Amino acid sequence: MTPVFVVSYFLAIPAGDWLAVVIAQAIMTLAISLAVVGYFRVAIWVSPSSITERGFFGKLIVVNRDVISFIVLADAFERSSGETRPQLFVCDSNEKQLLRMRGQFWSRKNMDYVIATLDVPVHRLDDGISTSDIRAENPGLLYWFEQHPVRFIGIFTLATAIVSMVIFAITETVVLGL
């Protein structure tokens, strides 16, 4: 982030537009700081009677044991490589995901602990499986944006354009004093 703002200041200061760069840097610093805090606050607590997750945005989700029907443990392929990472899905009787542990963030040891503590049937998908295969065979295991990737890309692109226009309008208003 620093090189981008160094160049931005280098170009903006002579033109007198440095305040817009300061505002943009403050917004980016705040956003990155919030993301770091959210990442390090993620946690899962498990007991024989329930499992609780504090997600990236801080929301607590508590799932009682009597709602949990089974667990799916799969080695899923990474999108950009042939490597697999473990994925654990805690599911209800309708085969819907109640909680997911991704191998990018949780170790196999953590997943084994959840399996042992909850003591529910485990469906192991021994061969590597892709997200496309999961989408076709068990769509309830995936997040909505994985179930509908094209729709997600459209929504994300539109949201990015709107936020960019708002930030541009705010910085122009402050710089021009309108």
C-alpha span between 178 and 171 (Å, rounded): 10
Query: pLDDT band for position 85 (50/70/90)?
Result: confident
Q: How confident is the model at residue 107 (pLDDT cuts 50, 70, 90)?
A: very high
Q: Are residues 27 and 101 in the same domain?
A: no
Q: Which amino acid is at 143?
A: Y
- 17 lies in a domain? yes
> Domain range spanning residue 126?
46-141
Shared domain for 60 and 32, answered yes or no, is no
Does residue 26 fall inside a structural domain?
yes
Other CB atoms within 10 A of residue 118 CB = 20
| Same-domain status, 29 and 95 | no
Cβ atoms of 63 and 99 within 8 Å: the answer is yes
Supply the pTM of this predicted model. 0.69
Report the Cα–Cα distance between both ends of the chain, in Å, rounded.
29
66 and 116, same domain (yes or no):
yes
How many domains does the chain contain in total? 2
> Both 122 and 101 in a single domain?
yes
